[in-house]
Amino acid sequence: MHTNLLDFDMNGLVAYCAGLGEKPFRAKQLLRWIHHNGLSDFDAMSDLARSFREKLKEHAALYTPTILSDKTSRDGTRKWLLDVGAGNAIETVFIPETTRGTLCVSSQAGCAVNCHFCSTGKQGFARNLTTGEIVGQLWMAEWALRMVRAVPDERVISNVVMMGMGEPMLNFDNVVRAMRLMLDDHAYGLSRRRVTLSTSGVVPMMDRLALELPVALAVSLHAPEDALRDKLVPLNKKYPLAELMAACQRYLKYAPRDFITFEYCMLSGVNDSEAHARSLVSLVRDVPCKLNLIPFNPFPGSGLACSSREHIQRFSRILLDAHIVTTVRKTRGDDIDAACGQLAGEVQDRTRLAQRGKVVTIPVRAA
Ligand code: SAH
Ligand code: SF4
């Protein structure tokens, strides 16, 4: 097997090129050809010396996960199901909006955190994705999307959210290396504000991220008190809410935005009462934040249901009245829903993301 060049950030590529007897500037050229221009054919990399190209052909290649399916919704949402071997599949979802194009990227096949309402968690942990498999989702999606554009030179993906399958903080090194490429001007050149990592609350890793690569942060809350959160997000037993809130405050000193996004999945009769909303207000009152209410996407055997529209409205009203910016995610891509469910079945149903990925955030009206 050749070395996968998608596994390297700039420093890694400099070291790799040095191993082939090449100068550091070669790594920069190579990085641009791969990520800026989307090339995998070394012969087409015209400013690389022929001898270097021959070495690369002998030792290196670009590998991305095989596409199992590729579906586009009427509203433009596009979903790829990708094979990562041993019967495991992950999903990558592109969500177009008027002012931006967001790619939802997976970090692990499965997830060990085992949140009560998450089908990925229910299906257990398979393995961490490699850096190449993580950034490869962006590489593949950006060029697939550009190919069907009238102006193929224009960037399509403006934002990345690490909100696909898996807990990114538990695959820290590979995720950070992949995000470094997302931010590198010689690769994708996205600003730290446009790359968001979502975590279930791995406190020590939040502190590490603050020091190593402070991108925008989303924290999956789902409950305002420890007793309930212990049940919904078992990791809460290890890192309870007081510690999590303190970690959010620390992160804010480094964050590219002056707020943390809190995600809260609306589960009927579980966490959606007015008392829960009031308790949530007290919990987050001192943390500059935005709250994102996510209607629960049901899956077979979950034993849970999504809160009613009325409940969600009432819940958000309490937050808005307390001057907390609150949004509700709106479902998109409905016409490819059924197909997702079917595909999920074919690949051991590891793809709850298929349902979650097709969402956009809309503000809740304050009226
Ligand atoms: N592991 C990370 C990132 C991936 S999950 C995390 O938990 O934050 C991304 C978001 O989707 C999380 O907020 C998660 O709680 C939410 N989610 C998981 N299952 C869901 C479901 N069935 N319906 C709605 N949202 C869900
Ligand atoms: Fe893992 Fe996130 Fe699902 Fe929890 S919600 S099981 S952390 S992917």
Residue 32 burial (10 A CB sphere; 0-12, 13-18, 19+) = middle
- Cβ proximity of 222 and 181 under 8 Å: no
> Does residue 325 belong to any structural domain of this protein?
yes
- The 10s digit of each residue's pLDDT in 89-141 is 999 999 999 999 999 999 999 999 999 999 888 889 999 999 999 999 999 99
Active-site residue flag, 289: no
Domain CATH number, residue 21: 1.10.150.530
CA of 299 to the centre of ligand 1 (A): 13
Gap from CA of 2 to ligand 1 centroid (Å): 35
Q: Looking at the structure, tell me whether residues 166 and 182 fall in a common domain.
A: yes
Helix (H) or strand (E) segment spanning residue 263? strand 260-266
| 22 plus 120 within the same structural domain | no
Q: Is residue 366, in this structure, part of any structural domain at all? A: no
Q: Would you say residue 231 has pLDDT above 50?
A: yes
Same domain, 70 and 26: no
Closest among 362, 310, 355 to 333, alpha carbons compared: 355
Q: How far apart are CA 351 and CA 302, in angstroms?
A: 14
* One domain for residues 92 and 163: yes
Are 282 and 164 contained in the same domain?
yes
According to DSSP, the residues that pair with 289 across neighbouring strands are: 260
Q: Which of 24, 39, 61 is the last residue of a domain?
A: 61
Q: Are residues 220 and 340 in the same domain?
A: yes
Q: Is residue 73 part of a domain?
A: yes
Q: Distance, CA 28 to ligand 1 centroid (Å)? A: 36
Is 115 a member of any domain? yes
Q: In terms of domains, do 146 and 16 share one?
A: no
Q: Out of 91, 133, 167, 263, which one is annotated catalytic? A: 91
**Among 13, 41, 61, residue at a domain's last position:** 61
Q: What is the pLDDT of residues 71-86, one digit of tens each?
A: 998 888 999 999 999 9
233 close to 113: Cβ distance less than 8 angstroms: yes
Contact assessment for residue 178 and residue 131, using Cβ atoms and an 8 Å cutoff: yes
User: Does 261 reside within a domain?
Assistant: yes
**What SS3 state is found at 129?**
coil
Query: b/e string for 62-93 if b means 16 or more Cβ within 10 A?
Result: bbbbeebbebebeeebbbbbbebeeebbbbbb
- Indicate the pLDDT class of residue 340, thresholds 50, 70 and 90: very low
Residue 117's φ and ψ, nearest 5 degrees, are -100, 10
Provide the pLDDT for residue 332.
Answer: 66
- Hey, whose CA ends up nearest to atom 8 of ligand 2? 166
Does 348 score more than 60 pLDDT? no
Confidence of residue 52 (pLDDT cuts 50, 70, 90): very high
CA 221 – CA 85 distance, rounded (Å): 32
Q: Which of 104, 108, 114, 244 to mutate to test the pocket of ligand 2 (most atoms within 8 A of CB)?
A: 114
Does residue 365 belong to any structural domain of this protein? Answer: no
Do 160 and 24 fall into the same domain? Answer: no
pTM listed for this prediction: 0.92
Does residue 83 fall inside a structural domain? yes
Per-residue pLDDT, 345: 32
Which phi and psi angles does 357 have, rounded to 5°?
A: -65, -20
* Per-residue pLDDT reduced to its tens digit, 274-309: 999 999 999 999 999 999 999 998 888 899 999 999
Q: Is the pLDDT of residue 236 over 70?
A: yes
- Residue 91 appears among annotated catalytic residues: yes
Residue 357: its pLDDT value, please? 33
Per-residue tokens: 287: 């943390």
Do 48 and 182 fall within a single domain?
no
The CA 117 to ligand 2 mean position distance, Å, reads: 9
Q: What is the pLDDT of residue 154?
A: 86
Same domain, 154 and 250: yes
Token pair, residue 79, equals 């979903």
> How far apart are alpha carbons 168 and 54 in whole angstroms?
36
Are 115 and 56 members of one domain? Answer: no
Q: Does 117 lie in the same domain as 50?
A: no
Residue 182 in domain: yes
Percent of the chain with pLDDT over 70: 90
As for how many domains the chain has, the answer is 2
CATH of the domain at 171: 3.20.20.70
Q: Which atom of ligand 2 is nearest to the CA of 122?
A: 6
Which of 40, 46, 34 lies closest to 10 in space, CA to CA? Answer: 34
Token pair belonging to 312: 């969600």
Task: Give the domain extent around 280.
Answer: 66-356
pLDDT for the residue 358 = 30
Question: Which ligand is closest to the CA of 106, given by its number?
Answer: 1
Average pLDDT over residues 164-184: 97
Query: Where is the domain boundary, 61, 82, 105?
Result: 61
